[in-house]
Structure 1
Amino acid sequence: MIPTELLIDFNAELKEFQKEDIIFSENNSARNYYQIKSGIVKMNNYNDDGKEFIQGIFYKEQSFGEPPLFIDINYPANAVAIENSVLYILPKEKFFQLLKTHSDIHFNITKSLAKRLYYKAIIASEISSQEPSHRILRFFDYLKHDVHQSPEKFSLKIDYTRQQISDLLGLRVETVIRAIKQLEKQGEVKIVKRKVYR
């Protein structure tokens, strides 16, 4: 999202995280901007019964955890490396300085946050009112068109496990498996060697 040369100019630190390392925890003070150089990061919470709810999964060149920086609150979720990852870490003060001097970057970040809010609103309404297969398809289309810009049919490999999809959408794993098979029969997705393509 922010060009790496610019992050380096503002003295961003490069830090490695191993799979399952916690980058920050729920209720920690928000002190840094994080951008992924390589790897995958998830943001999650756990309910009182210990069930995980995944707030989002972030990939190379994406950032995460920005909203609390702007409103001076603690993180509402944990950030955990799903695989070995390398992150650019920029302290909050330098991040704000960068935004003040680069209005185009500021606009891009605002646009990205707006997309995430829109997606969360869509998912919230879908969770309460739509069939599982419809929810899953909407989620896949968000990834296909908004995250990866991959318009050709079956050009996007869904890199989420069935468990991650269930945690993101508030469904049971068995329901996700059944719904994906139904979507395959309808020609909406293709399954090759257990991998789902949209």
Structure 2
Amino acid sequence: MATAADSGDPLPAESSVWLAARPAAPARRRSEAPSGLDRERITAATVRLLDAEGLARFSMRRLAARLGVTAMSLYWYVDTKHDLLELALDSALGELALSAGPVPEGWPGRLRALARGYRRVLADHPWAAPLGAAYPNIGPHARAFDAALQRLLDATGLAGSARTGAHLAVSQFLHGCGGAARRAPEGDFCLALDVLIAGIEAKAAA
């Protein structure tokens, strides 16, 4: 989990950028906003900065310098640095391919593809795993990922507590292995994933 040392200041207690209602700014204030900026551009720059320098070195001042604006300019578009980190986390998860198309191997093959894609995202963005543990992780791409996982579990035929247990096992496996994505070899991850899938198949068969 990210700590104050990782991100530079205390983590929010019970808040999320995805839960906060942002009232529209008055027309006069909107006209005063820095030109050439928007949330999407700022979020993309945040992802690039985190990839380049890591979570511990991230700051609004560094981000502003990369964008060629003042740090205060960023606060027209986000309320806090934590908002930006949440936006960056969900943007990274947006790189996942969540196709619902048919796969010859059925749900096991699709679950393998989904899990390996998730691991690749965390390996490409090593800051995403600690942020996923520190924040609610309820952005649109995170919800789309969970919905895709739920559809795969629907296909197993499991129900009740068995279905709940399978969801918990897969989620904990992905989040737990995510922090070690750059340290654990791909082959070890795939072997562990095969063991997990075999357990789900055995439970479904029973």
Q: Is TM > 0.5 for Structure 1 vs Structure 2? A: no
Which has the larger share of strand?
A: 1
The structure whose Rg is larger is: 2
TM-score (norm 2): 0.29
Question: TM-score with structure 1 length normalisation?
Answer: 0.30
